């Protein structure tokens, strides 16, 4: 953990010339302002202003000045940039001109959820992510096509798996940025890949997932390919998920956590599956639509993975996709879990059947973006948590 003064010293000693100040809109899309290193001290003291009316979901033009404040603990060198005149990135918090926190700052919302869980409930949540994506070829004009980079399938190896070298470069780049990937492999679809991450605290896990998507796109582009994170890029092939593994520091509250998330599943869907394309994936193979849970059951909304004796138990939420705003989704999952803990909610009976081939009496998730949006807009839980 670095202080502002330590970062200023580091920037001078390491010949850093540019600093990218990163933040996120309400879609979870990363934005940034690049400043010269000589302006960093002022940025730490005063912030850097930007036009909030130009950012999706933020403010209207009549009162649109907001300020970015770099978080020195999040500094990372961009290893693909030159060694002379280095470029670093820091995530930022957002404030109004008078210094009050901006209510739509996704990272602050998540940080507040983490603090509430720790201070009021005595629990901490850790997150691990499994992120799937496709690699597509470009046309003669450099535009993305729907032609997959290879025709390999689940966990195939080279030469059928042409994405092996790109996944390796992605993992090396992540390590250079201080992010530890856990595993990588080819997925079921042609040109489809997956990289998984070690558990981390909520804010670090969200930062890492967001950085990962940026790195994948950057490395794919340098290889003359397009990285596609959309939920269902090919109509007749496997969809891409953003599986979220969640563990609670108090394992005795695991059932309450499970019950709380199941209770609010429909309300969370609009944020976990935020595009029309998302609903082309739900209900298909490995993308559950029933609000149910099961041990080792990949057809349920929440799966309880098998563990060895030395591994802590966890929940895997299987429906989210990578178009989501990971900060908002983690925030909502924490508050749903806390609702379960506060009210001592009990989970329904486990489902053991394959729900991709068998129907059940369980409730289902919304099946369109419009229905998911209406449920979220009418939800007191969502309004209370997000406040906008």
Q: Model confidence at 246, in pLDDT bands (50, 70, 90)? A: very high
Pair type for strands 315-317 and 225-228: unpaired
Q: Model confidence at 118, in pLDDT bands (50, 70, 90)? A: very high
**Structure confidence by residue, pLDDT tens digits, 178-203:** 998 999 999 999 999 999 998 999 99
- Round the average pLDDT of the chain to a whole number and report it: 94
Separation CA 331–CA 108 (nearest Å): 10
All CATH 3.10.20.70 domain ranges in the chain, comma separated? 4-102
pTM, full prediction: 0.95
All CATH 3.30.590.10 domain ranges in the chain, comma separated? 112-386
Taking a C-beta distance cutoff of 8 angstroms, is the pair 112, 209 a contact?
A: no
Q: Model confidence at 63, in pLDDT bands (50, 70, 90)? A: confident
- Which residue has tokens 């400043």? 35
Task: Supply the pLDDT for residue 168.
Answer: 95
Angle at CA of residue 241, ends 24 and 330, nearest 5°: 45
**Structure confidence by residue, pLDDT tens digits, 254-310:** 999 999 999 999 999 999 999 999 999 997 767 899 999 999 999 999 999 987 655
Taking a C-beta distance cutoff of 8 angstroms, is the pair 94, 23 a contact?
A: yes
112-386: CATH topology is Creatine Kinase; Chain A, domain 2 (3.30.590)
4-102: CATH topology is Ubiquitin-like (UB roll) (3.10.20)
Q: Model confidence at 96, in pLDDT bands (50, 70, 90)? A: very high
Task: Supply the pLDDT for residue 358.
Answer: 86
Distance of CA 172 to the CA centre of its chain: 20
Task: Supply the pLDDT for residue 190.
Answer: 98
pLDDT at 385 over 80: yes
**Structure confidence by residue, pLDDT tens digits, 216-235:** 999 999 999 999 999 999 99
Separation CA 127–CA 59 (nearest Å): 31
Separation CA 267–CA 177 (nearest Å): 35
Q: What is the mean pLDDT of residues 325-336?
A: 98
Taking a C-beta distance cutoff of 8 angstroms, is the pair 210, 30 a contact?
A: yes
Q: Model confidence at 311, in pLDDT bands (50, 70, 90)? A: low
Q: What is the mean pLDDT of residues 15-19?
A: 95
pLDDT at 160 over 80: yes
pLDDT at 369 over 60: yes
pLDDT at 384 over 90: yes
Task: Supply the pLDDT for residue 70.
Answer: 97
């Amino acid at each position: 953990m670095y202080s502002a003064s330590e970062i200023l010293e580091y920037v001078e000693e390491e010949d850093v010339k540019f600093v990218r100040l990163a933040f996120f809109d309400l879609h979870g899309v990363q934005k940034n302002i690049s400043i010269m290193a000589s302006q960093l001290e002022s940025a730490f003291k005063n912030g850097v202003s930007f036009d909030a009316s130009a950012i999706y979901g933020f403010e209207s033009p009549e009162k649109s000045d907001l300020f970015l404040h770099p978080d020195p603990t999040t500094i990372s060198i961009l290893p693909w940039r030159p060694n002379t005149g280095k470029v670093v990135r820091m995530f930022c918090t957002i404030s109004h001109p008078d210094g009050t926190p901006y209510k739509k700052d996704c990272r602050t919302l998540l940080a507040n959820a983490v603090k509430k869980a720790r201070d009021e409930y005595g629990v901490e949540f850790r997150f691990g992510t499994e992120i799937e994506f496709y690699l597509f070829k470009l046309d003669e004009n450099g535009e993305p096509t729907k032609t997959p980079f290879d025709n390999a399938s689940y966990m195939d190896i080279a030469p059928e798996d042409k994405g092996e070298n790109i996944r390796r470069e992605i993992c090396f780049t992540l390590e250079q940025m201080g992010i530890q990937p856990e595993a990588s492999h080819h997925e079921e679809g042609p040109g489809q890949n997956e990289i998984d991450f070690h558990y981390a605290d909520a804010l670090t896990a969200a930062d890492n997932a967001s950085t990962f998507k940026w790195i994948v796109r950057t490395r794919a582009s340098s290889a003359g390919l397009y990285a596609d994170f959309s939920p269902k890029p090919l109509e007749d092939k496997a969809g891409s998920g953003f599986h979220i593994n969640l563990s609670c520091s108090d394992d005795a509250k695991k059932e309450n956590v499970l019950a709380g998330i199941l209770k609010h599943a429909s309300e969370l869907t609009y944020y976990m599956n935020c595009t029309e394309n998302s609903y082309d994936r739900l209900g298909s193979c490995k993308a559950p639509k029933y609000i149910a849970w099961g041990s080792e059951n990949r057809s349920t909304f929440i799966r309880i993975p098998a563990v060895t004796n030395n591994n802590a138990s966890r929940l895997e939420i299987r429906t989210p996709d990578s178009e989501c705003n990971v900060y908002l989704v983690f925030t909502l999952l924490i508050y749903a879990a806390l609702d379960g803990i506060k009210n001592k909610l009990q989970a329904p009976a486990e489902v053991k059947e394959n729900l991709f081939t068998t129907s059940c009496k369980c409730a289902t998730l919304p099946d369109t973006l419009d229905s998911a949006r209406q449920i979220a807009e009418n939800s007191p839980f969502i309004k209370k948590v997000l406040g906008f």
